[in-house]
């Protein structure tokens, strides 16, 4: 189960290989400031309840099954993070002129 405290911990990213039953594959990452750094494992997740949505906290229950690490999803996550960092650097550089 993913858990973060002050932005450090584990978090699920991605939603790929969707099945006809509503399941999908997500990858659990070690994160710092919610930025994914190290992929830990991939899981096939099947939502089994609607969960509760409170003002600040949302929860949902899943059936999970560990699958081999989904390398395409890992690559896409790294590319997204690098693109975000590049955009921040470019914005910072352009605003400094």
Q: Which residue has the higher pLDDT, 58 or 96?
A: 96
* The total number of structural domains that make up the chain: 1
* Residues 4-17: b if buried by 16+ CB within 10 A, e if exposed: eeeeeebbbbbeee
* DSSP letter (8 states) at residue 22: S
The H or E element spanning position 86 is helix 71-95
pLDDT of 87 over the 90 cut: yes
| Percentage above 90 pLDDT, the chain | 75
Domain hosting residue 22, numbered range:
4-95
């Amino acid at each position: 189960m993913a858990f973060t405290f002050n932005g450090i911990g584990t978090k699920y990213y991605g939603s790929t290989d969707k099945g006809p039953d509503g399941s999908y594959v997500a990858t659990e990452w070690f994160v710092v400031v919610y930025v994914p750094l190290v992929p830990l494992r991939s899981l096939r997740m099947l939502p089994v309840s609607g969960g509760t949505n409170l003002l600040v906290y949302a929860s949902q229950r899943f059936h999970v099954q560990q699958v081999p690490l989904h390398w395409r999803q890992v690559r896409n996550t790294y590319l997204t993070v690098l693109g975000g960092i590049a955009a921040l650097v470019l914005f910072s550089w352009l605003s400094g002129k």
